[in-house]
Structure 1
Amino acid sequence: MTATFWDAHAAARLTQGPVIPLDPPPRMEWTQRPGIGPGTEIIGEDLTGRRIVELGCGAGHNTAHLTAAGAAVVGVDRSAGQIRRAVAHYGHTGAQFRHADALPYLTRASQGLDVIFSVFGAIGTSEPTRLLSACARSLTHHGILAFCLPHPQRTGAIPAYPRTRDTATLQDGRTHLIEHWDMAPVAWTSALNQAGLTVSGVYHLHAPADARWPTTLLITARKL
């Protein structure tokens, strides 16, 4: 269902006008508002040559930014439409994009990744147990996993059931159900520990800055 929504979203964006090549963004963003929260420093000060995979790359903005910073990055997305957008915008930068589901991609890919990250991507919209375990297997010793998702307390209370569905509306009025996991930080910590990863940071971000409740949950973990 999630892929269907993003395919439809990408198709709408592609028909609005010509998709032109873009310069890589000057900053890595972890929220839906620019300039809020940390940047690339939480995944490493020097990214030159680092092997990185983004799970759920969307239009490719963060993949392109990290490529420009000298990393060897592959952006993965299960939406073919989003991959077409990413290639059209940033294919000229050397950034690599692959149309694939996150779990099969990590299962097929060789191990030895330095960083895996997800920005409102596959982590949070897929059942976490198998995906987090696949991330742990794919990371090098001291490799980093970083992901952000809608904060479970964004409406003031953490949902009683972690597996929830929201209705998303396209510009033409069509609606799609988006399935995601609204888990409290302690539940994510437990899931990461069970996968063999150790939490190194938990960030409760407000975007916009004056939001009453935190809107984005950002978690980093390491393979020790």
Structure 2
Amino acid sequence: MVRMSAAPENHLEPARVNDYDRLAEAYTAENDAGIDNAYYERPAVLALAGDVTGRRILDAGCGSGPLFAALRERGAVVSGLDSSAGMLEQARRRLGDDADLRLADLRDPLPFADDAFDDVIASLVLHYLEDWGPALSEIRRVLRTGGRLIVSVDHPMIVYVGHRLSGREVGYFGTRNSLEEWTMGGQTVPMSFWHRPLHAMTDAFTAAGFRLSVISERQPVPAARELFPDAFRSLSATPAFLFFVLEAG
């Protein structure tokens, strides 16, 4: 994940917000090699997932498929969905034509039967949604009872501190929108994120029928120390992401 400068609200064209189709190739390269995803968030998610041999897993917001590929290599039976056709094209190149990939939006009904999965992984995707309720309700529907939802999101405190340091007067409580610009591969795209405090996250999980099993703050893997010394020191001192493991009740 690469975060660029904040943009004023009137600069954004709603139809082009979060346009991953335009960023697909460049974002895939960054996601595959950068510290945030390859050496921090993705290893943390895989560690929380543990032994996935034979488990039916939905990668909800699969992007170009690096997590899908890692889970499949570990013996899971994986399906993926994403709202960006461009990202799914990148995933198809990585995973092959036989991979179960669906073009779908988490705000809509999911194209899967009830109790279809043992696990759902929502990796850095929920913070694009203003309202988590419909997405979590659908995730609960496609999970068997006792199945797991594994979530990673932007850490609410680091988001709050970052906004304060940039001179934006924001409060920690309440759900609020953050507007940014990402520039990759010669393309600049406005991005919109919805941030909420920790209690709002846990309240949303509970309301959707989940029980909190694990809440975790992780650090980059040791291999990142030599590759990204400055970023490694920063992320080892202050977490960028927050991780949850939830059980479908």
Task: Give the structure-2-normalised TM-score.
Answer: 0.72
Query: Deviation string for 1:10-53 (max 9, x for gaps)?
Result: 15569x9xxxxxxxx9xxx99525156635342242x2221111
* Distance in 1 (alpha carbons) for counterparts of 2:214 and 2:54: 24
* Distance in 2 (alpha carbons) for counterparts of 1:191 and 1:90: 33
The aligned counterpart of 2:3 is: none
Residues 68-217 of structure 1: pairs in structure 2 closer than 5 A: 68-91=73-96, 94-106=98-110, 108-112=111-115, 113-121=117-125, 123-126=126-129, 127-155=131-159, 156=161, 159-171=172-184, 172=186, 174-176=188-190, 178-207=191-220, 208-211=231-234, 212-217=237-242
Q: Which structure 1 residue ranges, 5 or more long, are not aligned?
A: 17-24
1:206–1:163 distance in 2 versus 1, CA, 3 Å: farther
1:42 partner amino acid: L
* Distance in 1 (alpha carbons) for counterparts of 2:83 and 2:101: 11
* Distance in 2 (alpha carbons) for counterparts of 1:100 and 1:3: 17
Alignment of 1:6 onto 2:20: yes
* Distance in 1 (alpha carbons) for counterparts of 2:108 and 2:74: 27
Q: Which structure 2 residue ranges, 5 or more long, are not aligned?
A: 1-14, 165-170, 221-230
Instruction: Indicate if the aligned counterparts of 1:55 and 1:76 stay in contact, CA closer than 8 A.
Output: yes
Instruction: Give me the identity figure in percent.
Output: 24
* Distance in 2 (alpha carbons) for counterparts of 1:2 and 1:51: 34
* Distance in 2 (alpha carbons) for counterparts of 1:2 and 1:219: 30
Structure number having the greater helix percentage: 2
Aligned alpha-carbon RMSD (Å): 2.9
Question: Residue 175 of structure 1: CA displacement?
Answer: 3.4
1:140–1:102 distance in 2 versus 1, CA, 3 Å: same
Alignment of 1:40 onto 2:49: no
Question: Residue 64 of structure 1: CA displacement?
Answer: 1.0
In structure 2, the residue corresponding to 1:85 is in which secondary structure?
helix
Query: Deviation string for 1:91-138 (max 9, x for gaps)?
Result: 16x5322111124352x31012111111112x2212201111111122
Instruction: Indicate if the aligned counterparts of 1:153 and 1:214 stay in contact, CA closer than 8 A.
Output: no
* Residues matched between the structures, number: 207
In structure 2, the residue corresponding to 1:154 is in which secondary structure?
helix
1:95 partner amino acid: A
